[in-house]
Amino acid sequence: MPTFLAPLALIGLASLPALAAIYWLRNRYRRQTVSSLMLWSEMAQAREGGTKLQHLQVPLLFLLELLALVMLALAAAGPRMLAATTRLPLVIVLDDSYSMQARGSVSDQSARTQAMAAIVEVLESDLYTARFVLARDKPLVLGEAVQQTGQAEALLEGWRCQWPSADVSAATALAMQLGGDNERVLVITDHEPAIKPEGGRIQWWAYGRDRPNVAIVNATRSNEGDRDRLLIELANFAAQPVRVPLKISHDGTTLQQQTVNLAERQTRSIFVDVPTQTPVLTVRLGDDELTVDNHVDLAPVQTPPVRVGLAINDASVQQYVQRAIEATDRAALVTAGEQLLITDRTAATNAPHRWVIHLQRDEPAQAYLGPFVIDRAHPLSEGLSLSGVIWAAGESQSLPGRPIITAGNITLLSDVEYPSGRHDVHLRLRAELSSMQNSPNWPILWWNMIAWRAEHMPGPRRVNVRVGETVVVNLPQNIETVRVMNPVGEAIDLAVTDHKVSMPADAAGRYEIAAGSDTYALQANVLDREESDLSPRGAGQWGDWAQAAVFSWEYQSVAWVFGLIAAALMTGHLYLVSRSAQQGRQSL
């Protein structure tokens, strides 16, 4: 299909009705040559016989002039056609956020479905070689370049539209870098551009629509001893109040059910208690315009206590330590198989799973009132405030490892990290000369130690995550690779780094991580307030590749074709006029 460099020149087509008017006015009154006035009586008698149908006689000269004007107007508009013999490069940016799944009735189509049909139509033109970029929180290139519709449809199976956010601007910038200055970019989304595309390289196609929606925007599950507590946060993004059914079930069995009233644009939090031993729970709302944010699956939060061993000769120090450990409610005191050993003796450190806290009693000792320097980047320093605390220790300056707390140049607390991931903590304290063990900082310090050890125990740090989060799973020793089974049934092998593996939760559902003989599971849910709000969605198309000067080399002008046709028509017109004049002279 041709495009025009100067489409305003098509105004010249307005001369066509002007030419037709000239011929009509010219032929309306014709000169009648008669031999005598007596013939007028016969003409009057003929008119009295009734009206006769007269066919419009279109002169050939008029048709030639009409066609010539059309050809001249088209030539002046600068028509051009694609000259490339190969396919043109095209990068398609795909909004991968879950609002693209929104739809109304059964006959209504989601933005993703409409966009798929448009992409197929573009590729069926046989003009482009296409690449795809998924717009997520960080853009992702989807496969290699394709030319055939079947190849594109296979790639687009990875376009699931389940991400909680889409940075379309970043994905567009990546798309423009992939092909350089001579590549077209097509953005597929469900909202209007913040800035209309200029320059002609980018086209922006939006297929969204302002729709009412009620969504689960936050959901947590926590253990409260003999029961689990669910926090369900609902948001109504519609401009009118709604009543929505809320059902909590397990494996198809309904545990609780209620109806929730929400005012327009209201957010409401609901607390529900369930038995602590209940496995994965499903929280579901009634279906509406966007179904993906109407349900969540919450796994039970299992936090096994840290096994702590005490081997302390100083009875008073052991009493202070034991009381602080028991107060955390996150540890179990054991005599064997400990994961954290607290001792003032010489301890064997060859067990890779066992961390050791060395309590050091210095002789002689000096009481320090501060100022204390605290490494706030270390987990053990969280919440500590040593103002007014007396801390007694020896005058030796050195402790192995990274200093955490110092008094001047005297290290009081340090951390040694080993390549295996194990830590040794060194704590210097003379309890009878100190007030540290009687201050609020003492239980805070031991809470931090237990929480820090628990954070590095094998398994995922959280079992209920949001889609889009990066999941960190701690692993035992000697595990080099793990196999992840994602919610869509794909098995992915991941390498282990520093005894842990990181992976994105890029789909809603259950993940299983197989690490040797152990298997860990977690649930991912779509929970995002901004993405569930469909009110700012819109539809339309912006940008025009034909107006991009950078693509001018791909076209060749065909104005000369229309010019030649116009010249041929004018030549024929001149010939007919000349022949008519010659015949008139011969008749005289």
Per-residue confidence at 588, pLDDT binned at 50, 70, 90?
low
Sequence-ordered alpha helix ranges (H) in 77-128 = 111-124
Residue 549: predicted pLDDT: 47
Say yes or no to pLDDT of 550 above 50.
no
Give the Cα separation of 587 and 33 in Å (integer): 16
Give the Cα separation of 396 and 55 in Å (integer): 122
Residue 5: predicted pLDDT: 64
Residue 319: predicted pLDDT: 92
Choice between 555 and 565, residue whose per-residue pLDDT is larger? 565
Say yes or no to pLDDT of 55 above 60.
no
Q: For residue 466, which of 268, 284, 242, 220 has the smallest C-alpha distance?
A: 220
Give the Cα separation of 297 and 509 in Å (integer): 8
What tokens does 160 get? Answer: 């699931």
Using DSSP bridges, classify how beta strands 184-189 and 202-207 pair: parallel, antiparallel or unpaired. Answer: parallel
- Integer CA distances (angstroms), 533 to 207, 216, 523, in order: 15, 11, 23
In tens, the pLDDT along 75-95 reads 787 776 666 555 788 899 999
Say yes or no to pLDDT of 552 above 60.
no
What tokens does 54 get? Answer: 């007269």
| Amino acid present at 470 | T
The angle that helices 441-455 and 315-328 make with each other, rounded to 10 degrees, is 60
Choice between 323 and 30, residue whose per-residue pLDDT is larger? 323
Helix (H, G, I), strand (E, B) or coil at 54: coil
Residues sharing a CB contact under 8 Å with residue 333, sequence separation 6 or more, in sequence order: 308, 309, 310, 322, 325, 326
Q: What is the DSSP letter of 497?
A: B
Domains of the chain: 306-455 (3.40.50.880), 459-525 (2.60.40.1930)
Say yes or no to pLDDT of 214 above 90.
yes
| Its pTM surpasses 0.85 | no
In tens, the pLDDT along 33-53 reads 666 655 555 555 445 555 555
In degrees, rounded to 5, the angle at the alpha carbon of residue 336 between the alpha carbons of residues 335 and 342 is 65
Average pLDDT over residues 208-236: 91
Per-residue confidence at 398, pLDDT binned at 50, 70, 90?
confident
Q: Which residue is it, tokens 């005297």?
A: 410
What tokens does 134 get? Answer: 């998924």
Note whether 136 and 165 are within 8 A (CB): yes
Say yes or no to pLDDT of 258 above 90.
yes
Note whether 362 and 396 are within 8 A (CB): yes
Say yes or no to pLDDT of 547 above 70.
no
Give the Cα separation of 446 and 457 in Å (integer): 17
Residues sharing a CB contact under 8 Å with residue 570, sequence separation 6 or more, in sequence order: 64, 68
Length of the chain: 588
